[in-house]
Amino acid sequence: MALQEFIVEVIITNKEKARDPVGETIKRDLLAKKGYDMVSNVRSGQYLRFNLNTESEERAKNIVEDLLNKLRIYNPVTQNFRILKLQKES
Amino acid sequence: MSIKIAVIQFPGANCDLDTIHVLKDVMHIDVDLIWHNYFKESKYDGVILPGGFSFGDYLRSGIIAAHSPAIDEAKIMVKDGRPVIGICNGCQILAEAQFLPGAFLHNESLKFICKWINLKVENNNTAFSNKMNTGDVLALPIAHAEGRYFNDNVEELEENNQIVFRYSTEKGELTKDSNPNGSLANIAGICNLEQNCIGLMPHPERASEAIITPKRTTHGLLFFESIIEFIKRRIS
């Protein structure tokens, strides 16, 4: 099967019980002061984008999940990760 | 009996030479500075991972260094009971390598904090605290941006005596104001179950000579003397 290029975008955030001072500061010192008091919570995170050549979309997803877990790209003690987007490179 | 200690140098380390200076010039201990790719555990009685910004702190402080071959070597030392010590960035590396429980997050203030703090000794049985008394309050500097200790299960740490040092007032009270970075339960230093692997955020190597400490204290020396004492007890 021919290899194709895929892009996998990942977002890593702190778990809810770990305080996120970046998000708290954006909400408290910027949004609340500028009239955006309808915003009840802001959480910050880390964005990673992987380009990889694999046989299929599913395989691309599995590889990225595998490397995130095995190499502790995210720290399971304090963080969660979520795959934001998975697409074939055009 | 000759004792030999290794200090590991990662790219971005900056407290390696201070640590070497205290061991070699102040305490007259045989010590080697070793580039992380070349470290072999068999020659050494103990190893110290010094402070700094290994691999630029990219991704998370300590995570890239935690995958270094030096950590595989250090793991052998942890398993056979030799002292494995992490100071500041070294402490973050040991947590990321899962030698120590929990993790270190960005300081609550989001600022890099560089100041003298008070440190209360909670457990004086470890390889990094046996020259102290439980309840002693020591003066040490901190210098970190990611020192906020976090763990899901602090009760378990307490039950197992894994909390070695906490931030406190000068009188040893554990207050919110004496906690510089928002660490869970004022935790500044932790150890593994066997108490031979210890990570500490403050810098004892910067507090070991009266000439460079604000109140002419040398509390930092107690930490390094504890390593030597631990090795002596272990060998004898």
Domains, in order of start, for chain A: 4-88 (3.30.1280.10)
* Cβ atoms of residues B138 and B226 within 8 Å: no
* Cβ atoms of residues B52 and B68 within 8 Å: no
Write down the pLDDT at residue B1.
Answer: 63
Query: Rounded CA gap, B122 and B164, in Å?
Result: 5
Nearest CA to CA, how far is A21 from chain B (Å)?
A: 6
- pLDDT value at A89 more than 90: no
Whether B219 is catalytic? no
B109 interfacial to chain A (CB closer than 8 Å): yes
Comparing CA positions, the residue from B25, B223, B39 lying closest to residue B119 is B223
Q: Which residues of A touch B150 (CB under 8 A)?
A: 18, 77-78
Domain range list for chain B = 4-235
pLDDT band at A88 (very low <50, low <70, confident <90, very high): confident
Q: What number of CA atoms fall less than 13 Å from residue A16's CA on the CB side? A: 1
Write down the pLDDT at residue B21.
Answer: 98
pTM (two decimals) = 0.93
CB contact under 8 A, A75 and B108: no
Whether B88 is catalytic? yes
CB contact under 8 A, B150 and A73: no
Could you please state the CATH topology (level 3) that the domain comprising B4-235 is classified under: Rossmann fold (3.40.50)
- pLDDT value at A49 more than 90: yes
- pLDDT value at A44 more than 70: yes
B194 interfacial to chain A (CB closer than 8 Å): no
Q: What are phi and psi of A17, to 5 degrees?
A: -80, -15
Write down the pLDDT at residue B53.
Answer: 96
**Interval A40-63 mean pLDDT:** 95
Q: State the catalytic residue, choosing from B88, B91, B191, B197.
A: B88
Cα distances (angstroms) measured from residue B45 to each of B96, B124, B227: 23, 20, 10
Nearest CA to CA, how far is B109 from chain A (Å)?
A: 7
CB contact under 8 A, A72 and B105: no
Chain segment A5-37, per-residue pLDDT in tens: 999 999 999 999 888 989 999 999 999 999 999
Structure ipTM over 0.95, yes or no = no
Q: Which residues of B touch A77 (CB under 8 A)?
A: 102-103, 150-152
Comparing CA positions, the residue from B152, B156, B142, B163 lying closest to residue B207 is B142
Whether B205 is catalytic? yes
Write down the pLDDT at residue A19.
Answer: 87
User: What is the pLDDT of chain A when averaged over all its residues?
Assistant: 93
Taking chain B (236 residues) in runs of 10, the rounded mean pLDDT of each run is 93 97 98 98 98 95 96 98 98 98 95 97 98 98 97 95 98 98 97 98 98 96 98 91
